[in-house]
Amino acid sequence: MARSARAGAWVLAGLALLAAAAPLLAPYDPAQQLDAAESSRRPPLSSLLVVRTLAGEPRLAEDVHVDGDDLVLERRSGVERLPLSVVTNFDERGIAERRRAWLGTDALGRDLLSRLLHGARVSLTIGLLAAALALTAGTVIGSIAATCGRFVDQVLMRTVDGLLCFPHLALVLLLAALYQPGTWLLVVLIGGTGWMGLARLVRAEILRLRQEPFALAAAASGRSPAGVLVRHLLPNATTPLLIDASLRVGGSILVEAALSFLGLGVQPPQASWGSMIADGQGHLTTAWWMATFPGLMVAAAVIGSSLLADGLSDRLAGIRTTANRGARRRSPWAIRTWLGQT
């Protein structure tokens, strides 16, 4: 399964690279609406001539030709005539400037490729930071519950059980409807409501590791409980944490897309994959590209994180099995020596 881990890592790395380079790769301003009546819902690989005049916004046209002292523009809405004297970018070669839509345009004439790239920055940032917040909160609370005594453990775990009674998406929807979050509040909402299952996972893993010989040897050597936790237990609990973090990135991106699709997430004119899918869902039969391309980006992020988690699970399980077999082959004296060095 190392191939699946590499494939997932490459997919996520590629999306992150596109997001980081969005200002350089995006051909146009993602919020720019240039002659919306003419550029609206143009299919992929289409291009329009840009006619600039002395006054007013540039005009877009499918084709132009000269008729006497006028420049005739062939447009979707019909034929339009402009005096040559007011056109600033016409010469003996004609109109050389073109506006190309490699992935098409949306209903407002905005370039879809530019919005996809800038939307990647928003969606991936929210997904990564929300996953990091949930991972941090779950690790801290699970560690406290596992090491601070029975009373603290019972209080924290019963609190976690109560919060888990609410479905995650329903809880996020309720809070988003109340607070109308922006980008950073979305990070807090998604990450702050997704740590409970991770806290239970960390607690169970630390309770298991506390019974291992290396942890007992560290405690017997006089280390404080906090020192044993930080130096010995948490580093050995990284296997489930890495797998959960990989899955959580894709899950956070999916939750953000769902909130933005419902109008409770990232607000226009800022682009995100979920809001782009919402913009295109009413035009699936006439402008399929508006919802298809952002949907593919969401699918790629979720599949990439799942592949990475699957590959990590198998790879780290294989490493642990090999280590356990090696430990069983050691003599008792070698095990004591190894524990003393840990």
pTM: 0.83
* Residue 15 maps to a domain: no
Considering the domain architecture, whether residues 201 and 231 belong to the same structural domain is answered as yes
User: Which pLDDT does position 292 carry in this prediction?
Assistant: 94
At which of 77, 101, 125 does a domain end? 101
* Residue 106 maps to a domain: no
* Residue 17 maps to a domain: no
**pLDDT exceeds 80 at position 164:** yes
User: Which pLDDT does position 331 carry in this prediction?
Assistant: 35
Considering the domain architecture, whether residues 73 and 203 belong to the same structural domain is answered as no
**pLDDT exceeds 90 at position 233:** no
Cα angle: 233, vertex 237, 241; to 5 degrees: 145
Average pLDDT value for the chain: 85
Considering the domain architecture, whether residues 145 and 290 belong to the same structural domain is answered as yes
* Residue 312 maps to a domain: yes
User: What DSSP element (H or E) covers 48?
Assistant: strand 46-51
Q: Any bridge partners for residue 59, and if so which?
A: 51
Distance between CA atoms of residues 260 and 113, nearest Å? 19
Confidence tier at 55 by pLDDT (50, 70, 90): confident
* Residue 39 maps to a domain: no
* Counted domains in the chain: 2
Amino acid (1-letter code) at residue 33: Q
Considering the domain architecture, whether residues 76 and 178 belong to the same structural domain is answered as no
Considering the domain architecture, whether residues 75 and 164 belong to the same structural domain is answered as no
Q: Is the pLDDT higher at 316 or at 125?
A: 125
User: Which pLDDT does position 1 carry in this prediction?
Assistant: 52
**pLDDT exceeds 50 at position 84:** yes
Local structure of 83: helix, strand or coil? strand
User: Which pLDDT does position 327 carry in this prediction?
Assistant: 39
User: Which pLDDT does position 42 carry in this prediction?
Assistant: 94
Mean pLDDT throughout 7-30?
Answer: 92
Confidence tier at 320 by pLDDT (50, 70, 90): low
Q: Any bridge partners for residue 67, and if so which?
A: 70
User: Which pLDDT does position 329 carry in this prediction?
Assistant: 39
Q: Is the pLDDT higher at 55 or at 78?
A: 78
Q: Could you tell me the CATH number of the domain that includes residue 87?
A: 2.30.30
At which of 101, 120, 135 does a domain end? 101
User: Which pLDDT does position 116 carry in this prediction?
Assistant: 95
Distance between CA atoms of residues 294 and 309, nearest Å? 23
Convert the pLDDT of each residue in 106-120 to its tens digit: 999 999 999 999 999
Q: Is the pLDDT higher at 180 or at 31?
A: 31
Distances (CA, A) of 231 to 24, 219, 228, 284: 43, 11, 5, 55
Considering the domain architecture, whether residues 162 and 273 belong to the same structural domain is answered as yes
Structure tokens at 72: 């005739």
Domain that holds residue 91: 46-101
Considering the domain architecture, whether residues 54 and 133 belong to the same structural domain is answered as no
Considering the domain architecture, whether residues 142 and 280 belong to the same structural domain is answered as yes
User: Which pLDDT does position 297 carry in this prediction?
Assistant: 95
Residue ranges in 109-167 assigned as alpha helix (H)? 112-147, 150-164
User: Which pLDDT does position 136 carry in this prediction?
Assistant: 92
Considering the domain architecture, whether residues 71 and 122 belong to the same structural domain is answered as no
**pLDDT exceeds 90 at position 47:** yes
Confidence tier at 26 by pLDDT (50, 70, 90): very high
Considering the domain architecture, whether residues 277 and 131 belong to the same structural domain is answered as yes
**pLDDT exceeds 50 at position 204:** yes
Amino acid (1-letter code) at residue 9: A
* Residue 20 maps to a domain: no
Q: How is 192-203 classified by DSSP, letter by letter?
A: HTS-HHHHHHHH
Share of the chain above pLDDT 90, in %: 40
* Residue 130 maps to a domain: yes
Mean pLDDT check: name the lowest of 81-90, 175-184, 240-249. Answer: 175-184
Q: Could you tell me the CATH number of the domain that includes residue 158?
A: 1.10.3720.10
Distance between CA atoms of residues 21 and 24, nearest Å? 5
Confidence tier at 294 by pLDDT (50, 70, 90): very high
| CB 111 within 8 Å of CB 167 | no
Convert the pLDDT of each residue in 142-153 to its tens digit: 999 988 888 999
Considering the domain architecture, whether residues 141 and 284 belong to the same structural domain is answered as yes
At which of 101, 130, 147 does a domain end? 101
User: Which pLDDT does position 316 carry in this prediction?
Assistant: 63
Mean pLDDT throughout 204-220?
Answer: 86
* Residue 6 maps to a domain: no
Considering the domain architecture, whether residues 154 and 273 belong to the same structural domain is answered as yes
Distance between CA atoms of residues 312 and 319, nearest Å? 10
